[in-house]
Amino acid sequence: MKNIFVLILIFFITGCSSNMKPTDFKDQKPRLIIEDYLSGNVKAWGILQNRSGKVTRQFSADLDGKWDGKQLILDEKFNWSDGEVQTRQWKINKIDEHNYEGTAGDVVGTAKGFSYGPAFKFEYVLLVPVKGKEIKITFDDWIFKQDERVAINRATMTKFGIKVAELTVMFVKD
């Protein structure tokens, strides 16, 4: 009985959320072409919030992207406020005008990207270190271009369909 209640609760929580779709932004401007925006140097600042909204960590980051016409190689270096330094290298392939696929060392499988108007949605599962273990966290990652230099990123992190954290990031292109 308890398992049925949990399944119904999960269905209710995930089923009642209003899901944005990348195509909701198809006619809006400015157009975010992720391989153009992330080519070169981009600075970022962000906060990590737990499920109740409490800010648990802050960071600054340096991003360096190189686009070869088919693939974006994006090197990220995160400097967390608690002293931890984290790096990641993304390899993002452009499939067509609106679809992308990406990989990174701590990403499980392939990330799926969707680009319409000023919005870029990236869906992936990340291995996150927690207390000496790596746990799989699903990211629903949205980047919204504000102007030629600024973009805002909002990511919802879930485990078993339940929100565990949120990430908010401001990007500024050099």
Instruction: Tell me the per-residue pLDDT of 122-132, one tens digit each, with 9 for 90 and over.
Output: 999 999 988 88
Per-residue pLDDT at 18: 55
Per-residue pLDDT at 14: 46
pLDDT at 11 over 50: no
Let me know if 37 is exposed, middle or buried by CB neighbors in 10 A (0-12, 13-18, 19+).
buried
| Residue 156: band (very low, low, confident or very high) from pLDDT cuts 50, 70, 90 | very high
User: Mind listing the pLDDT tens digit for each residue in 92-147?
Assistant: 999 999 999 999 999 999 999 999 999 999 999 999 988 889 999 999 999 999 99
pLDDT at 16 over 50: no
- The reported pTM is 0.86
Instruction: Please give the share of the chain, as a percent, with pLDDT higher than 70.
Output: 90
Strands 119-130 and 133-145: antiparallel
Within a 10 A sphere around the Cβ of 11, how many other Cβ atoms?
A: 11
User: Over the chain, what is the mean pLDDT?
Assistant: 91
Q: Which residues are within 8 A (CB) of 22 and not within 5 positions of it... i.e. 6 or more apart?
A: 98, 114, 115, 116, 119, 120, 121
User: Mind listing the pLDDT tens digit for each residue in 28-54?
Assistant: 999 999 999 999 999 999 999 999 999
Instruction: Report how far apart, in Å, the C-alpha atoms of 20 and of each of 28, 135, 141, 142, 153 are.
Output: 14, 26, 11, 10, 14
Domains in the chain, CATH or no CATH each = 20-173 (2.40.128.20)
Q: Contact, 156 vs 4, CB < 8 A?
A: no
